[in-house]
Amino acid sequence: MDSIKCGKCGAELGPVERRRAFISVFVQGDEEIRSWYFCDVCRVWMIEFYYDHFMGDSDITVAGPYPEEAWAAEVALAKTCPSPGDKWCKCPAHEKLSP
Ligand SMILES: [Zn+2]
Ligand SMILES: [Zn+2]
């Protein structure tokens, strides 16, 4: 995956091991992996959306920066999932974060 940079100061927030939380959900037949990266200097979130399309290619969208409070609840929720990489997981976090 590509590196993620802070949208405010440009600092490198990757690699993927440094993301604060992630969750894989199922969106209309495609897998979507949402990863939250946090810049400690600016106190902002950058979110990477990775779409693995059923029909072939995958693409990545990066959104942000968002203020710390904006995603605190979702990140806390994603962290409660016992297996965030499992898009079929039926835990409360998956139920709430799935579209
Ligand atoms: Zn920053
Ligand atoms: Zn889950």
Token pair of 26, please? 């199922």
Q: What separation in Å is there between the alpha carbon of 9 and the centre of ligand 2?
A: 32
Predicted model pTM: 0.91
| Positive or negative: CA dihedral 93, 43, 68, 30 | negative
Token pair of 63, please? 């959104």
Tell me the residue length of the chain: 99
Token pair of 84, please? 């965030």
> Where are the chain's structural domains?
16-97
Distance CA 78, CA 45 (A): 14
In sequence order, which residues have a C-beta less than 8 Å from that of residue 96 and are 6 or more positions away? 77
Per-residue pLDDT tens, the chain, 99 aa: give them. 468 999 999 999 999 899 999 999 998 888 999 999 999 999 999 999 999 887 888 899 999 999 999 999 999 999 999 999 999 999 999 999 987
Q: What separation in Å is there between the alpha carbon of 90 and the centre of ligand 1?
A: 34
Q: What separation in Å is there between the alpha carbon of 93 and the centre of ligand 1?
A: 28
